[in-house]
Protein backbone atom coordinates (compact mmCIF):
# COMPACT_ATOMS: atom_id res chain seq x y z
CA UNK A 1 0.00 0.00 0.00
CA UNK A 2 2.84 2.39 0.73
CA UNK A 3 4.21 2.03 -2.82
CA UNK A 4 0.76 2.80 -4.23
CA UNK A 5 0.46 5.88 -2.00
CA UNK A 6 3.91 7.16 -2.98
CA UNK A 7 3.16 6.57 -6.67
CA UNK A 8 -0.19 8.35 -6.36
CA UNK A 9 1.36 11.34 -4.57
CA UNK A 10 4.12 11.44 -7.22
CA UNK A 11 1.54 11.55 -10.04
CA UNK A 12 -0.49 14.16 -8.12
CA UNK A 13 2.53 16.44 -7.70
CA UNK A 14 3.64 15.86 -11.31
CA UNK A 15 0.19 16.82 -12.66
CA UNK A 16 0.22 19.94 -10.46
CA UNK A 17 3.70 20.88 -11.73
CA UNK A 18 2.68 20.48 -15.38
CA UNK A 19 -0.55 22.47 -14.91
CA UNK A 20 0.87 25.28 -12.78
CA UNK A 21 4.16 25.41 -14.68
CA UNK A 22 2.23 25.70 -17.94
CA UNK A 23 0.16 28.57 -16.56
CA UNK A 24 3.26 30.43 -15.40
CA UNK A 25 4.94 29.83 -18.78
CA UNK A 26 1.94 31.33 -20.57
CA UNK A 27 1.71 34.30 -18.20
CA UNK A 28 5.42 35.06 -17.88
CA UNK A 29 6.73 34.11 -21.34
CA UNK A 30 4.10 33.70 -24.05
CA UNK A 31 1.77 36.63 -23.31
CA UNK A 32 4.55 39.23 -22.86
CA UNK A 33 6.20 38.02 -26.07
CA UNK A 34 2.88 38.32 -27.93
CA UNK A 35 2.32 41.85 -26.64
CA UNK A 36 5.62 42.95 -28.16
CA UNK A 37 4.79 41.83 -31.70
CA UNK A 38 2.14 41.65 -34.38
CA UNK A 39 -1.25 41.19 -32.68
CA UNK A 40 -2.80 39.37 -35.65
CA UNK A 41 -0.04 36.76 -35.74
CA UNK A 42 0.04 36.69 -31.94
CA UNK A 43 -3.68 35.94 -31.65
CA UNK A 44 -3.30 32.85 -33.87
CA UNK A 45 -0.30 31.68 -31.86
CA UNK A 46 -2.15 32.30 -28.59
CA UNK A 47 -5.20 30.42 -29.88
CA UNK A 48 -3.12 27.41 -30.96
CA UNK A 49 -1.08 27.43 -27.75
CA UNK A 50 -4.24 27.83 -25.67
CA UNK A 51 -5.94 24.85 -27.33
CA UNK A 52 -2.90 22.64 -26.78
CA UNK A 53 -2.49 23.75 -23.17
CA UNK A 54 -6.24 23.41 -22.54
CA UNK A 55 -6.00 19.72 -23.43
CA UNK A 56 -2.97 19.26 -21.19
CA UNK A 57 -4.59 21.24 -18.36
CA UNK A 58 -7.82 19.23 -18.38
CA UNK A 59 -5.84 15.97 -18.47
CA UNK A 60 -3.94 17.26 -15.41
CA UNK A 61 -7.27 18.05 -13.71
CA UNK A 62 -8.41 14.45 -14.29
CA UNK A 63 -5.17 13.10 -12.81
CA UNK A 64 -5.38 15.53 -9.87
CA UNK A 65 -8.97 14.52 -9.12
CA UNK A 66 -8.27 10.80 -9.33
CA UNK A 67 -5.04 10.86 -7.35
CA UNK A 68 -6.49 13.31 -4.83
CA UNK A 69 -9.34 10.92 -4.04
CA UNK A 70 -6.94 7.96 -3.95
CA UNK A 71 -4.48 9.84 -1.70
CA UNK A 72 -7.23 10.64 0.80
CA UNK A 73 -8.44 7.04 0.75
CA UNK A 74 -4.94 5.70 1.30
CA UNK A 75 -4.59 8.09 4.26
CA UNK A 76 -7.75 6.58 5.74
CA UNK A 77 -10.20 9.32 4.72
CA UNK A 78 -13.44 8.02 3.26
CA UNK A 79 -16.70 9.63 2.21
CA UNK A 80 -18.13 8.98 5.69
CA UNK A 81 -15.64 11.44 7.16
CA UNK A 82 -17.41 14.30 5.37
CA UNK A 83 -20.49 13.63 7.50
CA UNK A 84 -18.60 13.79 10.82
CA UNK A 85 -18.68 17.27 12.40
CA UNK A 86 -15.60 16.52 14.50
CA UNK A 87 -13.54 15.59 11.46
CA UNK A 88 -14.86 18.52 9.40
CA UNK A 89 -13.77 21.01 12.06
CA UNK A 90 -10.37 19.41 12.64
CA UNK A 91 -7.37 21.21 11.13
CA UNK A 92 -6.88 18.40 8.59
CA UNK A 93 -10.59 18.29 7.72
CA UNK A 94 -10.72 22.06 7.22
CA UNK A 95 -7.68 21.90 4.93
CA UNK A 96 -9.26 19.08 2.89
CA UNK A 97 -12.53 20.99 2.56
CA UNK A 98 -10.73 24.18 1.55
CA UNK A 99 -8.64 22.30 -1.01
CA UNK A 100 -11.72 20.65 -2.50
CA UNK A 101 -13.47 24.03 -2.62
CA UNK A 102 -10.50 25.73 -4.32
CA UNK A 103 -10.19 22.86 -6.79
CA UNK A 104 -13.90 23.17 -7.64
CA UNK A 105 -13.38 26.92 -8.14
CA UNK A 106 -10.42 26.20 -10.45
CA UNK A 107 -12.59 23.86 -12.53
CA UNK A 108 -15.33 26.50 -12.87
CA UNK A 109 -12.92 29.35 -13.68
CA UNK A 110 -11.00 27.14 -16.13
CA UNK A 111 -14.19 26.05 -17.89
CA UNK A 112 -15.33 29.66 -18.30
CA UNK A 113 -11.88 30.71 -19.53
CA UNK A 114 -11.22 27.70 -21.77
CA UNK A 115 -14.63 27.15 -23.34
CA UNK A 116 -16.33 30.57 -23.32
CA UNK A 117 -14.24 33.71 -22.84
CA UNK A 118 -10.90 32.49 -24.25
CA UNK A 119 -12.25 31.23 -27.60
CA UNK A 120 -14.42 34.34 -28.02
CA UNK A 121 -11.39 36.54 -27.26
CA UNK A 122 -9.21 34.83 -29.85
CA UNK A 123 -11.96 35.05 -32.50
CA UNK A 124 -12.43 38.75 -31.74
CA UNK A 125 -8.66 39.34 -31.90
CA UNK A 126 -8.48 37.59 -35.27
CA UNK A 127 -11.37 39.66 -36.63
CA UNK A 128 -10.23 43.05 -35.28
CA UNK A 129 -7.12 42.91 -33.07
CA UNK A 130 -7.45 46.52 -31.91
CA UNK A 131 -11.25 46.54 -31.64
CA UNK A 132 -13.15 47.21 -28.40
CA UNK A 133 -14.65 43.70 -28.28
CA UNK A 134 -11.22 42.08 -28.62
CA UNK A 135 -9.83 44.34 -25.90
CA UNK A 136 -12.75 43.63 -23.53
CA UNK A 137 -12.57 39.86 -24.02
CA UNK A 138 -8.76 39.81 -23.78
CA UNK A 139 -8.98 41.60 -20.45
CA UNK A 140 -11.66 39.21 -19.19
CA UNK A 141 -9.57 36.19 -20.24
CA UNK A 142 -6.51 37.74 -18.61
CA UNK A 143 -8.33 38.30 -15.31
CA UNK A 144 -9.68 34.74 -15.33
CA UNK A 145 -6.13 33.47 -15.91
CA UNK A 146 -4.80 35.58 -13.04
CA UNK A 147 -7.57 34.31 -10.76
CA UNK A 148 -6.64 30.74 -11.65
CA UNK A 149 -2.99 31.41 -10.82
CA UNK A 150 -4.02 32.72 -7.38
CA UNK A 151 -6.27 29.71 -6.82
CA UNK A 152 -3.41 27.42 -7.87
CA UNK A 153 -1.11 29.04 -5.31
CA UNK A 154 -3.79 28.46 -2.68
CA UNK A 155 -3.95 24.80 -3.69
CA UNK A 156 -0.18 24.47 -3.33
CA UNK A 157 -0.35 26.05 0.12
CA UNK A 158 -3.13 23.68 1.19
CA UNK A 159 -1.20 20.70 -0.19
CA UNK A 160 1.68 21.64 2.10
CA UNK A 161 -0.75 22.11 5.00
CA UNK A 162 -2.17 18.61 4.45
CA UNK A 163 1.30 17.14 4.76
CA UNK A 164 2.89 19.43 7.36
CA UNK A 165 -0.04 20.99 9.23
CA UNK A 166 -1.18 24.57 9.58
CA UNK A 167 1.50 27.18 10.28
DSSP secondary structure of 30-87 = IHHHHHTS-HHHHHHHHHHHHHHHHHHHHHHHHHHHHHHHHHHHHTT--GGGGG-HHH
Which pLDDT tens digit goes with each residue over 36-81?
Answer: 876 667 777 878 888 899 999 999 999 999 999 999 999 999 999 9
pLDDT at 24 over 70: yes
**What is the per-residue pLDDT for 49?**
86
In 4-41, which positions are buried (b, 16+ CB within 10 angstroms) versus exposed (e)?
A: eeeebbebbeebbebbbebbeebeeebbeebeeeebee
Task: Please give the C-alpha separations between residue 49 and each of 25, 34, 68, in angstroms, as whole numbers.
Answer: 11, 12, 27
Does the pTM exceed 0.95?
A: no
Which pLDDT tens digit goes with each residue over 108-133?
Answer: 999 999 999 999 988 888 888 889 99
C-alpha 23/C-alpha 39 separation (Å) is: 21
* CA 119 centroid distance within chain: 18
Q: What is the dihedral of CA 82, 96, 21, 27, to 10 degrees?
A: 90
C-alpha 64/C-alpha 105 separation (Å) is: 14
Q: At 147, give phi and psi (nearest 5°).
A: -60, -40
Residue 64 burial (CB count, 10 A): 23
Q: With the C-alpha atoms ordered 121, 124, 126, 132, is the resulting torsion angle positive or negative?
A: negative
More confident residue, 29 or 108: 108
**What is the per-residue pLDDT for 50?**
85
Amino acid sequence: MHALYVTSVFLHVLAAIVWIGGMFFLVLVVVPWLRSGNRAVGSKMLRDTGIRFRNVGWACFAVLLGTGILNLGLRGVGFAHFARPGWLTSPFGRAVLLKIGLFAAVLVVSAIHDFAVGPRATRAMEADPAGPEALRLRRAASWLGRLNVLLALGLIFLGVVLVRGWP
